[in-house]
Structure 1
Amino acid sequence: MTMQEAPDRLILAVHTRRELDDALDRTVTFLMPAAITERVGILVTRLALMKFV
């Protein structure tokens, strides 16, 4: 998994479906305290469709 930060987003790049599930779980866990404090949601968007093995 690779992670890039921009001012208002994180970009994750993964190679397998298992990595995707783990990366999303860890990212949401990481962002949850800030989302609760700021009373905002967490939006997840798939930018590229990949066929996972």
Structure 2
Amino acid sequence: MVAWQKEQRRRALVAAAARCSPATMPPPGGEGVAMKAHLRSWAHAVACSVR
């Protein structure tokens, strides 16, 4: 392997590890409540527009 290929592979592995890191996940609890409220209002808007 050429040096630049090794560097590209290392960067790809580091980026993949960063994407899977639990530190980037939102904290449990607060996000679910906001998502439920958003989905409820979205469903209400859709139901009103269908009538």
> Taking structure 1 as the reference length, what is the TM-score of the superposition?
0.37
Question: 1 or 2 for the larger relative contact order (CA 8 Å, sep ≥6)?
Answer: 1
Structure whose CA Rg is larger: 2
The structure with more helix, counted as a fraction of residues: 2
> Taking structure 2 as the reference length, what is the TM-score of the superposition?
0.38
